[in-house]
Amino acid sequence: MTVIRQKMWRDDNALGGLKAAPRLVPVAGRRHDRLMRMSDMRDYRREDFDPLVALYQRGKGDEFRFEPGWPERFPVIPLPMDEVRLKAFSDARVLVVPGEKGLAGVIYWQQSHIVGLLVDPQSRGRGLGRALMQAVLDRMAKPATLKVVASNTSAIRLYESLGFQRKGQRQATYQKVPVTVLMMSYRLCNDF
């Protein structure tokens, strides 16, 4: 089942000036179709930090799940102690979706670069990652770019289904462990 793209409207009182129109969006569930309330998607608030830290701890390591030696080679350092990722988050615009365990999903971006997308493992397969990506693509400057671990085929499939194209790969590190990342762009961007 396909997630319906959210409409945006101008609200001069809102941060960033845009708000998502309330809408129920059909998404595929694990056993049956469910309706997820996309109107719950909202801008990050200061009180979301502790639930974000918990979501980060539950889901961050999964981006390396197809790498040799996972999970031992890729231990997740709690976000407050990971200076690089905490700085990237602090400098970004952020959307969140509340869930049963605090936050079901979060996406953050800087200008036209998507820095991170996290979906609670219990909320995956329901279209939440796609909905967060679509909401950000509607808000952010184009063309958009992102980096993804090259072995994370499920994320790559999602990004390609949204119109991202592979623009190359390079070696990077996560906690001093080498990993290959793909650079991807949306709408024929060559910014890498």
Q: pLDDT tens-digit profile of 159-192?
A: 999 999 999 999 998 888 899 999 999 974 455 4
Q: Within a domain: residue 31?
A: yes
Q: Within a domain: residue 43?
A: yes
- Which percentage of the chain shows pLDDT scores above 90? 55
For the beta carbon of residue 43, count every other beta carbon within 10 angstroms. 15
Give the mean pLDDT of 121-139. Answer: 93
* Per-residue model confidence as pLDDT tens digits over 13-24: 333 444 443 333
| Cα of 60 vs its chain's centroid, Å | 11
| Count of structural domains within the chain | 1
- 80 pLDDT more than 80: yes
C-alpha span between 120 and 46 (Å, rounded): 19
For the beta carbon of residue 72, count every other beta carbon within 10 angstroms. 6
Question: In the prediction, which pLDDT does 172 show?
Answer: 92
For the purposes of burial, counting CB atoms within 10 Å of the CB of 31, is it exposed (0-12), middle (13-18) or buried (19 or more)? exposed
**Residue 50 sits in which domain range?**
8-144
Mean pLDDT, the chain, whole residue set: 81
Tokens of 186: 């949306």
Between 47 and 39, residue with greater pLDDT: 47
* Per-residue model confidence as pLDDT tens digits over 26-40: 444 443 334 455 668
Q: Within a domain: residue 178?
A: no
Q: Within a domain: residue 25?
A: yes
Q: Are the CB atoms for 106 and 96 separated by under 8 Å? A: yes
Q: Within a domain: residue 123?
A: yes
Give the mean pLDDT of 80-90. Answer: 90
C-alpha span between 42 and 96 (Å, rounded): 6
Give the mean pLDDT of 60-67. Answer: 88
Q: Within a domain: residue 177?
A: no
Lowest-confidence range among 58-72, 101-115, 145-159? 58-72
CATH number at residue 116: 3.40.630.30
Give the mean pLDDT of 118-126. Answer: 92
Q: Within a domain: residue 184?
A: no
Residue the block writes with tokens 């279209």: 127
Q: Within a domain: residue 67?
A: yes
Between 37 and 9, residue with greater pLDDT: 37
- The closest alpha carbon to 78, from 61, 98, 95, belongs to 61
